[in-house]
Every structure is written in C-alpha cells, then in structure tokens.
Amino acid sequence: MTKEHGAKLLGPWMSTAMVMGYMIGSAIFLLPATLAPYGVNALIAWGVTVGGTMCLALALSRLAARNPGGPQAYVQQAFGPIAAYFIMWMYWVSVFTSTAGIAVAFGGAASATLGVSAAWVVPLAVVAIFVVTAINLRGVHSAGEFQVVTTLIKLLPLLAVMLVLAFRVGSGRPAEPLAPMPVSAGSVASASALILFSLVGFEAATVAARKTRDPERIVPLATLAGTGTTGLLYFFSCTAAMLLLSYTVAPQSTSPFADAIGPTLGTGVGHIIAALTAVSAIGALNASVLIQGEIGQQLAQAGDLPRIMARGNARLAPTVSLIVTCVISALFVSFNASRSFVGLYVFITLISTVASLVFYACGAVAALKLRLGGITQIVIVVGLLYAIWTFYGAGLEATAWALSLLAAGLPVLLISRWLNGSSPAEEANPAAPPGSAS
C-alpha cells in the first residue's frame, strides 16, 4: 500500500486530530461518574496521570522520530520478533477492548439523547462499531476527514461545562462539594487507572505513521501537542463537571456532563450536550477502529496472525483486519451485557488500561534500550515508573483478565504460523513505510 496506489496519506492536522480524537472520546464524558467517589484523590490522580502520560508520550514520539515504521518496527528492533509479538498482541487487545468501552459510552450518550431506556445501550454500541468500521473501510483519508470534524465538535461540551461552572461561581452559588474520601495512595492509584483510560490513545499517530506524510516530523509533533492539550482540557472540564454534579448523584449518571449542565441551562441544553457527547464517542470510536485494524494488519504482515489479515484495499484500508476486529469488539460488548451501565464501562476500561500499560511500559523500556540520550532518558524512567505503579491501581480482576488475554496470544501465534507455513523472518517486513513495497 503506497503513494503510488493514489491513496491520500494523513497530514499534520489529521494526525493531531487522530491523537486528540482518540483521547477525547468516551472516557472523559463518564469520568465525573466514575471518579465521584474518590473526592480529592481524583484531583491528585489527574496531576500524576497527565504528568506520567506526557513522559510516556515523549518516549513513543522519540521512537517514532527515529523509526517511522510504527510500533511493530521499533518494538521488534528493541526486543526481537517473539517478544515484539506478545507486546503488540497485548496492545491489540487493549485497542479492541477500548473500542468496546468507547462503544458502550456512545450507547449511554445516545440512549440519553433519544430518551430510551438503558436496555438500548448495548444494541446501540454494537451498531456504532459496525457503522464506524464501514467508514474506515472507505480508506485512511476518509477516516482522517471524519476525525477532524468530530474532534472539533467534541470540544464543545468540554468548554461548555467549564463556562457553566464559572457562571455558577460568579453568580454567588457555591459549587458542589467533593466526596469526603480521605487521601490515600491506594485511592489515588485506583483513580489514576481510571483516568489513564481517558488518556489512552496518545500513541495513535505513531500507529498510523506508515500512512502519514513526513512521519519523522509530523508524528512526534502530533503526539506531544495532542497529548498535552488534551490533558489540560480533561483536567479542567472533568473537575468542573464534578463541582456541578453532586457526588451522590454522579455515580448513577449515564451522561454526567449533560446532567451537570442541564440544571443551569435547561434540560433541552442537557439533551444537546448528550448528543454532542455521542458525537465525541463516535469520533473516538473511529480512531480506535482505525488503530485496531492497523495493528492487526501489521501483526499479519509479520507472520504472527493469519496472512489473510494483511490484505487491504487500494485506499489503504486493512480490510480483513477491520472486519475481524469489528466482530471481536462487538462480541466483547455483548458477552458482558449483563453488567450495569457504569459497571460494564469500568470493567472494560480497566482491562483495556492494563493491556495498554504493557505496551506503554515496554515502549519506555525500548526507548531506554535504544539509548535516545540526554534528559529524555530521565523523563522516560519517570514514565516507566508511573506505568508500573498504575498496574497496582487497576486491581486484581482486571489484571487477571489481561494476563489471561496475554496467555491467549500463544495459541493464536502457533496456529497463525502453522497456517502461514513460515516464520516471521520469511514474512514481508511490517515496518515498510509508505512509498516502499509491502
């Protein structure tokens, strides 16, 4: 898949929108509900998580500048093909579980917009996965255009909730108190694990590097700029929502931003915010679907998944990989449909967070092993320590599920190699950048 095929590649705005659009999705609009019980611990966790994420983003952006072939390329360069497979397998798991979580959040916002019961959350989530997959099958540039539009729209609820809080405080009405939860390392760690899911996606530009114009320059810039901007927006908007919505009410809300704004601007505006939240989730879903398709294709090109999954179309869409991961994500939502809305969302997000932490931690180790040099090394060590600490916050159940999914990678690898009839060394190089044969 090359430029010669006539397909358009991602530019700087699309690449940055891919980062912000993947990050600003479902998680931020449900965080006021999931973080409400933690009180001031959540505010401390924001500082820890944004700082740690920026350190990890620096590591991945430096790796991308050095090797624009995507994560598969520099992970394999640092650890070899077998370790690279399991690292990328876990990242792939994190993405399609993330897709499921984002879809659930879309279902919650859409059901609130349409005024239907919570029973519609799962069906709406599954439909959204299939619709966004269809958009991505039209090509990477089509997905990029969709991402720019939805990213601009999704900024509106974040700005609105901050303005409503400023108006309320300015008019002399007190903000809602935070939950009276004592500050503890365990509570901060647990809140950090939930927050990290809202920041997962800062690596989006590095994953799509092979289909980005001038990736050595654009990918690092998009990664750092998108991560920093999103982190600040998240902190202020989520804190504003928590100060507008009672901590006793927030945990039961399926659309906390709409519920926070509604009493001030009217229920009609609340429905508009719920609709914008749904648009935001569908934009993040678009980026997540694109990334899971890319990773599946890269693993297949390395010989670690059935070769058929490497097939794509003339518009740079990894056709087979997109379809397979679409079905997996939809099944993951359906199999866990018996949980409550917030319970289902938290369960999926924690599994996705643990799985992504494996990739982030190994990315930091790869950056250290490849000796990027200077003060960058110190920053990367901080990011690595943060990733290890967040494993603790995710809890035993999510970690056990993630380890089970890691173990599932072994039979997948063995079956794939048997079907392919060759070793990874004999497969096409997955790190081939645009413009070269692949």
- For residues 413-427, one letter each, b for 16 or more C-beta atoms within 10 angstroms of the residue's C-beta and e for the rest, the string is beebbeebeeebeeb
For residue 196, pLDDT over 60 is answered with yes
Is 89 in contact with 299 (CB distance < 8 Å)? yes
Work out the mean pLDDT of the chain and round it to a whole number.
77
Any idea which residue has 């173990």 for tokens?
407
Alpha helices (H) in 115-184, listed in sequence order: 121-136, 140-170
Q: Which residue has the higher pLDDT, 198 or 45?
A: 45
Is 46 in contact with 255 (CB distance < 8 Å)? no
DSSP for residue 282:
H
Residue 212 bridge partners (DSSP): 10
In order of 42, 115, 349, 368, the CA distances from 75 in angstroms are 33, 46, 24, 12
For residue 69, pLDDT over 70 is answered with no
Nearest C-alpha neighbor of 17 from the set 124, 144, 179? 144
Query: What predicted TM-score, i.e. pTM, was given to this entire model?
Result: 0.70
For residue 44, pLDDT over 80 is answered with yes
pLDDT at 339: 59
pLDDT at 427: 43
82-126: pLDDT as tens digits: 888 888 888 888 888 778 878 887 887 788 777 777 778 888 888
3-state secondary structure of 186: helix
| Helical pair 140-170 and 256-265, crossing angle rounded to 10 deg | 50
pLDDT at 338: 59
241-294: pLDDT as tens digits: 888 888 887 777 767 877 788 777 776 776 777 777 788 778 778 878 888 888
DSSP for residue 212:
B
Nearest C-alpha neighbor of 262 from the set 250, 275, 277, 272? 272
H or E stretch covering 30: helix 27-35
Residue 10 bridge partners (DSSP): 212
Structure tokens at 143: 């997905």
Q: How far is CA 251 from the centre of its chain?
A: 22
Q: How far is CA 237 from the centre of its chain?
A: 18
Intra-chain end-to-end CA distance of the chain, in Å? 6
Residue 428 — pLDDT band, cuts 50, 70, 90?
Answer: very low
Rounded Cα distance between 46 and 357, Å, is 17
Rounded Cα distance between 117 and 433, Å, is 47
Any idea which residue has 């108006």 for tokens?
167
Q: Which domains does the chain have, with CATH numbers?
A: 3-426 (1.20.1740.10)
383-410: pLDDT as tens digits: 888 887 777 766 777 778 778 888 888 8
Q: Cβ contacts of residue 162 below 8 Å, gap of 6+?
A: 236, 237, 240
Structure tokens at 195: 């927050």
pLDDT at 254: 67
Rounded Cα distance between 434 and 436, Å, is 6
Rounded Cα distance between 362 and 367, Å, is 9
Rounded Cα distance between 357 and 49, Å, is 12
